[in-house]
Structure 1
Amino acid sequence: MVSILLIFHFCIVVAFTVRILLRDDLFPPARLAWFVVLILVPYFGSIIYFLFGEIDIGHEADKRHKRIFDQIRARAAAYMGTSEAADDLIDPLYHPAFRYAASINGFQPVAGNRATLMADAAATNASLIADIDAATEQVHVLYYIWLTDKTGTEVAEALIRAAGRGVTCRAMADGLGSRAMIKSQLWSRMKEAGVQMAVALPLNNLPRTLLTSRVDLRNHRKITVIDGRITYCGSRNSADPEFLVKAKYAPWVDIMLRFEGPIVTQNELLFLSDWIATTGEALDSFPLKANVGQEGFPAQVIGDGPTERRGATPQLFSSLIACAQDSLTLSTPYFVPDATVLEAICAAAHRGVKVTLIFPRRNDSWIVAAASRSYYRKLLTAGCRIFEYEGGLLHAKTLTMDGLVTLIGSSNLDLRSFDLNYENNILLQDPEVTQAVCDRQASYVAQSETVHLEKVRAWPVHMRIWNNAIATIGPVL
């Protein structure tokens, strides 16, 4: 029996080791992390690798995504123009970042946009509900987490009212993040009222999902588009700041921008890419408004996910960071960067850019918290400033640089956002909007504790070992 178990053990380790070595899409750190897991816990590690080791949404889904996005790119080009025209809109210092962003989905920078920074969660919901109540043609919403709390219910009721007066409403939610809503009476009421409903990456055939894909490939986007004229972008789900499913970390502190202008059409195209992939409807059946920008700033939508090319998001962040001249400020709840992004941040600090990083003091993921802190010494030694926010769980995902460029949306600086989730962001160039976001970032800093290098060096040995051990398997988290 012992011999049989040893042979079985050996076969499992060898089989999965060969599989990992055959994969061309893995970087050496990720291979090494999987080897560590397989050696330390071979049976459990093999199951985990089988379920979560490979980023594959399925061959048919890949083909469908490519077909849809070929159509989306063609429609975007017809509405938005060419890269040559877009170059004239952007300061030459930032051409590399905006050009790289355009390479992901084919969405070029478009001028003539306006944006308002929402004051807080209550103001965001009041503005969004008022816009839905004023809608006359169509409303599109997509949320990763949609709860049946006050915020989620108010959005649902606004959609029910809109559908009742003849507005075409399409509502979509992630199958895992919004599973309670999807099973709720509120979801059924929206359906009965005439709201068209869809579930992104549903879990209704879990055994098939486990065998052919990964259950943790999720649609993490937060998109609202109203009458093709208004769109919202930021970190907020359709949920109260008290976030009752994880109330002990509350309040969730989010940031949202309300946009008008041609950027709305790009965000609507991104929503439609998800809607069509789920429902099978044809893109030609959706009328789009060609918003003609008057006065306003240039901006572009960026959508990423497991069916886009690997590494697109970390390469985008690295391209942006490399363009920073004077200042760079990042806020994110989840900081587990790959080597590309980590080294880009340190390089910016070394060349004299004032780099400020803002993370939550208490994180709802203890694994992410430990992995994040393993990078503190390197970052602080390079000259970065690190602040830990104490006013709740800082959920705002923001990047500002040089008082001119802002990136805002759903992407975290972690491997889940880099590889597994469908994300949406807007990249813009405007001093006024960027100053407003910088002021909000400064308010986060004012409610934060400064992390000093001396304090990090004084951390007890067991804490350093723990943080570094968790970070070692960071590529498989």
Structure 2
Amino acid sequence: MYTLLLHILTVAVCGFHILLRRHRVPVSRLAWLVVVLVLPFVGAVAYLLFGSTSIGRRRIARLNRIYAHLPLPQTIAGWDAPEYAPHVPPLYRPLFAVGQSISLYPPVGGNSARLMADSDSGIDEIVADIDAAREHVHVLFYIWLTDHNGTRVINAMKRAAGRGVVCRALVDAIGSRDLLNSTAWRDMAEAGVMTAAALKPHWSAFDGRIDLRNHRKIVVIDNAVTYCGSQNCADPAFLPKAKYAPWVDILMRLEGPIVRENQHLFATDWMESADEDLSDLLRAPLPPGRAGFAAQVIGTGPTARYSAMPEAFESVIYAARRSLFVTTPYYVPDSSIQAALCAAANRGVDTTIIFPARNDDFAVGAASRSYYEDLLEAGVKIWEYRPGLLHTKSMTIDGRVSLIGSANMDRRSFDLNYENNILLYDKDMTARIRARQESYLADSLQVTLSDVIAWPVHRRIWQNALAILGPVL
């Protein structure tokens, strides 16, 4: 009887998997079939828990209602002001068209930004803006620790709530589980801060995949200021994984209509998690416009168009004509990303990528190196950052276009995580981001093709074996 049930379960799972119409490329389908057939019971259970990218029908229906209800930023009063017209050369307009097709946010002009000097100064600025807030403070982090920097933001929100500012704090239920179980979280709520946890864990295959995460990092204050980058709310020492410290991040403070796009993204997450309608907040008219650069928020996740984040990355890569500079801590690409990077170098684009030398995820670190040889043969220059974990997710091309945010070049960011990024066209801001990227080179060691060829066989087998597991999502 046991054997019969096992065969029925295996056949049922295989049949369901083959018949899936969405969210499975052939290599992923094949990888899962191998897992289920080689490990019949374990593989079938693993597939039921981890085999899809759905967040569950109830959550999808809820999000669809939220999207239909919330007014998009481009519909609010003042959006059509001449100062907010995005001035983007024809060469780069398709990049923003791709972004708009993903999350419906158009490129908008009239923005200004400052790049934070480092993680601590970024927290300094966030705390100062919270202390100056008059109407509302919205904070969303994947990881929020109760260390020095995390506590400073907690205390700033408590102070703001104490003087009547509406404060909303949203965290990922798994990434910030230590905060959720702490007295600091309860103290925030008691101080008047509204709190919520995104994507609470469950153990039902019918409620969607159990390890989908909200990986976004968003701060919005008074509809006037927003922050975007790779930084979580924590010290650079990052105590849960202190041996990889310091965590080296990038964070940008922005003003202008781009704030409303980040606000809309926060509102969708908040309303799904907290059941509070923020649509009136999104309808507030824009202030008078001022000159500034063009930018666009790109929000991706399991409920966005399939392969949306890879498509955004690839569009930027293929638009490069002279230079392409990438930093990412986690590199487990699909074949299209890998091909795009190789194609950039092959057509003469000066292409540079910096990875961390030591990765906090050993499997991802090893799998990343399995892709080095093809990249190097194409002419891509690869560097490994030595002092800590280079956590910056950034891309610059031709000294004109930049993409920064929360998304990595790995399978989780492509299919499983909710991510937020900002694409911008501006010579000065891109120069600052490129200078930050260049500064990492001083603490990095270049990896050459001869280095990779000299790796021992057992190391290459290990790296390639882990890379094979990449499609099993």
What is the TM-score with the length of structure 2 in the denominator?
0.95
How far 1:5 moved relative to its partner? 6.2
2:20 maps to what in 1? 23
1:338 maps to what in 2? 334
Partner Cα distance (1:328, 1:159) in 2: 39
Corresponding residue SS for 1:20: helix
1:33 maps to what in 2? 31
Partner Cα distance (2:260, 2:83) in 1: 18
Which of 329, 332, 349 matches 1:353?
349
Contact 1:109–1:298 at 8 Å: present in 2 too? yes
1:399 aligns with 2:395: yes
Which of 370, 375, 392 matches 1:374?
370
Contact 1:89–1:109 at 8 Å: present in 2 too? no
Contact 1:229–1:291 at 8 Å: present in 2 too? no
Structure 1 322/79 Cα, relative in aligned 2: closer, same or farther at 3 Å? farther
Partner Cα distance (2:179, 2:409) in 1: 27
2:200 maps to what in 1? 202
Q: Which amino acid aligns with 1:178?
A: S
1:261 maps to what in 2? 256
Q: Which amino acid aligns with 2:26?
A: P
- Taking the TM superposition and a 5 Å limit, the aligned residue runs for 1:14-413 are 14-25=11-22, 26-72=24-70, 74-78=72-76, 89-203=87-201, 206-208=202-204, 210-286=205-281, 288-413=284-409
Corresponding residue SS for 2:92: helix
Contact 1:80–1:108 at 8 Å: present in 2 too? no
Contact 2:329–2:391 at 8 Å: present in 1 too? yes
Moved more, 65-74 or 27-36: 65-74
Q: Which amino acid aligns with 1:91?
A: P
Q: Which amino acid aligns with 1:370?
A: A
Q: Which amino acid aligns with 1:315?
A: E
Moved more, 224-233 or 273-282: 273-282
Partner Cα distance (1:359, 1:73) in 2: 39
How far 1:445 moved relative to its partner? 1.5
Moved more, 462-471 or 32-41: 32-41
Percent identity between the aligned chains?
A: 51
Contact 2:79–2:286 at 8 Å: present in 1 too? no
How far 1:79 moved relative to its partner? 5.1
Runs of at least 5 residues in structure 2 that lack an aligned partner in the other structure: none
How far 1:78 moved relative to its partner? 3.2
What is the TM-score with the length of structure 1 in the denominator?
0.94
How far 1:6 moved relative to its partner? 5.5
Aligned length: 470
Contact 1:403–1:434 at 8 Å: present in 2 too? yes
Structure 1 427/75 Cα, relative in aligned 2: closer, same or farther at 3 Å? closer
2:411 maps to what in 1? 415
Partner Cα distance (1:238, 1:85) in 2: 34
Q: Which amino acid aligns with 1:463?
A: R
How far 1:120 moved relative to its partner? 0.8
Q: Which amino acid aligns with 1:157?
A: N
How far 1:310 moved relative to its partner? 0.9
How far 1:10 moved relative to its partner? 4.0
CA RMSD of aligned residues (A): 1.9
How far 1:403 moved relative to its partner? 0.4
Q: Which amino acid aligns with 1:65?
A: L
1:444 maps to what in 2? 440
How far 1:9 moved relative to its partner? 5.0
Contact 2:54–2:209 at 8 Å: present in 1 too? yes
Deviations 1:104-158 (A, max 9, x none): 1111111111111100111111111111111111111001101111111100000
